[in-house]
């Protein structure tokens, strides 16, 4: 087990940790990161490092930083892996169609439904 000495003055309650973050998540979200972690885009589960004392859970700014860096690194790994796949293009964000193309698509879909008896 890894034992890094952290001065007591550096420990933060989960509420204090949540208040430090830019989007001010609820302390329950910070607890969820400790307990269940978050699944990065590459499928790796990453948990926020924490400690317990007297029934309370604590973390540190350094551990928060490590957590966010690990999630970002895992996400980047997944993004890089996707780009290296041959023949893969960026996902489409919706097809731009003319009104005539749309009407044709609707006619074709209705005909297919009719043929299936729906």
Residue 3 in domain: yes
pLDDT digits (tens, 9 = 90+) for 98-117: 888 889 989 999 999 999 88
Helix/strand/coil (H/E/C) assignment for every residue in 59-81: ECHHHHHHHHHHHHHHHHHHHHH
**Within a domain: 117:** no
Domain residues for the domain of 56 are 1-86
107 within domain boundaries: no
Candidates 49, 44, 75, 71; CA nearest to 62 is 49
Whether 108 is covered by a domain: the verdict is no
Residue 56, Cα to own-chain centre: how many angstroms? 26
Q: What is the pLDDT of residues 44-102, one digit of tens each?
A: 999 999 999 888 999 999 999 999 999 999 988 888 877 766 665 555 556 677 888 88
Total number of domains constituting the chain: 1
């Amino acid at each position: 087990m890894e034992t890094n000495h952290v001065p007591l003055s550096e420990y933060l309650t989960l509420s204090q940790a949540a208040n430090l973050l830019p989007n001010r998540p609820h302390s329950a979200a910070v607890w969820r990161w400790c307990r269940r972690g978050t699944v990065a885009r590459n499928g790796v589960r990453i948990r926020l490092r924490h400690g317990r004392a007297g029934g309370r859970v604590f973390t540190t700014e350094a551990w928060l930083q490590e957590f966010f860096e690990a999630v970002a690194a895992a996400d980047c790994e997944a993004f890089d892996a996707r780009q290296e796949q041959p023949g893969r293009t960026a996902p489409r964000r919706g097809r731009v169609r003319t009104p005539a193309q749309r009407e044709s698509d609707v006619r074709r879909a209705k005909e297919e439904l009719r043929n299936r008896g729906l």
